[in-house]
A and B are shown apart, each in its own frame.
Chain A
Amino acid sequence: MGKRGVNRREFLKLTGTGSILAAAAAAFPRGVFSAEPKVKGPIKVGYQCVLSGTLAGYGEFHKMGVQMAVDEINEKGGIAGAKVEVDIRDSTTKPEDAIKNARYFVDSWGADFLAGIDSSGQVLALAPIMEQLDRVLIVTHAATEKLTEEWVFKKGVKQIFRNCTPTYQDSNAAAFVAKDFPIKRWATISPKYEYGFTCWKMFQQTLTKLKPGVTFETESFAPFGTTDFRSHINTILDAKPEGLYSTEWAGELISFVKQAREAGLFDKIKYVMFPVGAAMDVLEGTGKDLPDGVWMSARYFFLYPNNKTNNDWVARFQKRWNHYPAYVSETGYSAIYAIKAAVEKAGSKDTKAVIQAMEGMEMDSPAGRRLFRKEDHQALYDVPWGRAKADPKYPFKIMGEQVVIPASACFNRPPFEGPGSTPPF
């Protein structure tokens, strides 16, 4: 169908510039890998992200980051002397499509690595076949902790890695922030699927431990694709909570914020937390409608960390795409660099060698220093929580009053059961 045509085009677009530069690099060898490439190229990465339907904007942001990494790496001589090639396919949000794409990448296209994937349901469907596919998969968006706790740590599927923050950032870190609020009664409006349920549960558990006496008054879960949140808002207002925790995200969070504002929710509930509120699409989509003082976080925020690596990257990204990077742009970009670091460390693109190289690997990235934890293959890096505030430099609200709960303090720890595996430690 048309799908393949689009992908071929994307593929050519991604590799076109790269191949010319790689050819130039081959003609004038220099550097460590000039004599002969250690790793037989090209190194092929099968990347999938959502490019259709209501979340299509996320896929575009993934692509921007991935394409930048590919071009930069190939310009500088590739990975251990070998050129990187990326094919990007539409993952939709359906588990069966994620599996279909992964099989195509490995069986037909000859991928050495897999990366991407937005939905928790998709990664959980893909996990059981990863040993069979036997390629390293770097998950850049799906957040369910079950992927790394159960599939990597308990079941030992070593092919899976994740370089974005998981639900710990959304719930445990949120609880650390929330414990200092002078309130006790909480409620939620969250997505009616794995991600929404697991975050709310984890938030309740951690907050209860940190601040005994808190109560959770009501919960209203909205199915995927909800555009009208007015009934959910009524449910919350009826319960009269003091705090609202909501893992709504992307377009649904944008709709929700606007409708909640109309209904006066932000006047009645003073403490509101949006774990994925500082995502670029939400900040731009809500604009002035995002009330000042709302607490929010994301899996990366373009103004953090305020250091040269990040600021330079944001500037390059801005120059190339005329846009600030979304968090999936950063995780997509860093995933390609993680592959580079691992292959060069291993001196091979062989799956087993790469897994060994990646376990415990540390790397610099725009989001800061990332450490791939040996036991569960989860990347540890810090992302701040902060309060929405206006800034004349930006046409949207940014994160003010930043609070950083370090990943080492709020991420669950192996063995993921019994005391000592969930914060506080």
Chain B
Amino acid sequence: MQSIVHVVLAGLSAGMFIWLVASGLTLIFGVLGVLNFAHGSFYMLGAYVSFTLVKVLAPHFYLALLFGPLAVCLAGLVVERFFLRPVYRLELPYQLLLTFAFVLIFDNVVKLVWGGGALAPPAGLGPLRGSVSILGRNFPVYSLFVIAVGPLVALALWAVLERTWIGRIVRAASSDREMASALGVRVPALFTGVFVFGTWLGGVGGALAVPYVGLLTPGMGESIIIEAFIVAVIGGLGSLKGAFVGALVIGILSAFGTRFFPTFDMFLTFILMAAVLLVRPRGLFGAAR
């Protein structure tokens, strides 16, 4: 029992990180139709900037969680406004190439600014350091915090998209760009806004990862983006609900795999993805376009 509960908890917290990254990826794909490979780099930038801010702003670490992702938004703004916008009209491979170029650029920027070595912030953060005993085994307080943040972000996203005026416009523009434009929506500005917001979500994921992983490396964005893509594909590209469910499934499945089927744990997620694609080619919650 103790073992099962802890495996589930570990899976939940891991899943929430994938969700935070996958949510921005999904939002940007759903609205802009861009598969943003560089999204993992925004996660990495969020982590590095917040790491520096935590040191500068100590002991007000929560300010770092606030300002770190905002700094990443600036990078997102530049990428969208000056680089991505001219290639919207081109085919998907061009967007992929461009965003992949940014993966390499940001990796090297990080190496130039912070060095190629691993940076190791302390585990936990401020009052969230330490552990609580759950069924006789320690569980980090910070992981509980992460498990709480994930659903809150999901709820907030849902509320904004479904219940507000701006959400309606975003949905309108995503379902029919031309019609929305004809009705007076400034689509380019809206796209910039959505992209920057998606970037912010990636930055938040990165900022939260600092005390969770306890390690920053220049390649950290590349590993998470693959998981986020898998989650987005399983959930249905462009579906936020799908990304949330997908992240939970992948997180918990990996945790169980590691614990109970260690021989297969590296393949489990790929097997699941293949199975989902065979049965539902558009993913669990993917809409037929």
Contact = CB atoms under 8 A, between A and B. Distances in A.
B60 interface: no
Contacts of B10: 228, 230-231, 234
B255 to A, nearest CB: 4
B123 A57 contact: no
B140 interface: yes
Contacts of B222: 53
Interface stretch (B33-41, B113-121, B239-247): B113-121
Contacts of B223: 54, 225, 227
A234 B262 contact: no
A234 B120 contact: no
Given A56-B117, A264-B138, A235 B123 contact: no
Given A254-B120, A259-B123, A57 B219 contact: no
B266 A223 contact: yes
Contacts of B140: 259, 262-263
Given A235-B258, A238-B3, A261-B123, A255 B213 contact: yes
B196 to A, nearest CB: 27
B115 A60 contact: yes
- In terms of DSSP, what is the predominant structure of the interface of chain A? helix
A234 B214 contact: no
B14 interface: yes
B272 to A, nearest CB: 16
Given A234-B10, A262-B131, A56 B116 contact: yes
B259 A235 contact: yes
B265 to A, nearest CB: 8
A192 B115 contact: no
B222 to A, nearest CB: 8
A264 B139 CA distance: 8
A289 interface: yes
A122 to B, nearest CB: 17
Given A220-B262, A228-B10, A60 B117 contact: yes
Contacts of B199: none
A147 interface: no
Contact of A232 (B124, B131, B258): B258
Interface in A148-177: none
Interface in B238-279: 254-255, 258-259, 262, 265-266
Interface string A300-316: 00000000000000000
A231 B260 CA distance: 10
Contacts of A375: none
B218 interface: yes
Interface string A200-229: 000000000000000000011111010110
Interface string B47-62: 0000000000000000
Contact of B217 (A56, A220, A262): A56
Interface in A244-295: 250-251, 254-255, 258-259, 261-264, 281, 284-287, 289
Contacts of B138: 262-264
Nearest to A56: B116
A52 B107 contact: yes
A59 to B, nearest CB: 7
B7 A259 contact: no
Contact of B118 (A219, A261, A285): A285
Given A231-B10, A263-B139, A287 B115 contact: no
A246 B283 CA distance: 39
Nearest to B142: A262
Interface string B110-137: 0100011111101110000011000001
A231 B258 contact: yes
Contacts of A192: 266
A222 B117 CA distance: 21
A51 interface: yes
A187 to B, nearest CB: 13
Nearest to A252: B215
Contacts of B254: 231
A125 interface: no
B11 A231 contact: yes
A357 interface: no
B160 to A, nearest CB: 29
A26 interface: no
A281 B123 contact: no
Contacts of B117: 56-57, 60, 281
Contacts of A259: 123, 140, 214
Interface in B69-125: 104, 107, 111, 115-120, 122-124
B139 A52 contact: no
Interface in B204-218: 212-215, 217-218
Q: Which of B111, B118, B123, B218 has the most CB of A within 10 A?
A: B118
A255 B11 contact: no
B6 interface: yes
B174 interface: no
Given A51-B116, A53-B222, A255-B215, 17 more contacts: A54-B219, A56-B217, A60-B115, A60-B116, A192-B266, A220-B258, A228-B10, A230-B6, A230-B13, A230-B14, A232-B258, A238-B3, A238-B259, A258-B214, A262-B131, A263-B139, A284-B120
Lowest 7 A-B CB distances belong to which pairs?
Answer: A57-B117, A56-B116, A285-B120, A231-B258, A258-B214, A53-B219, A264-B138
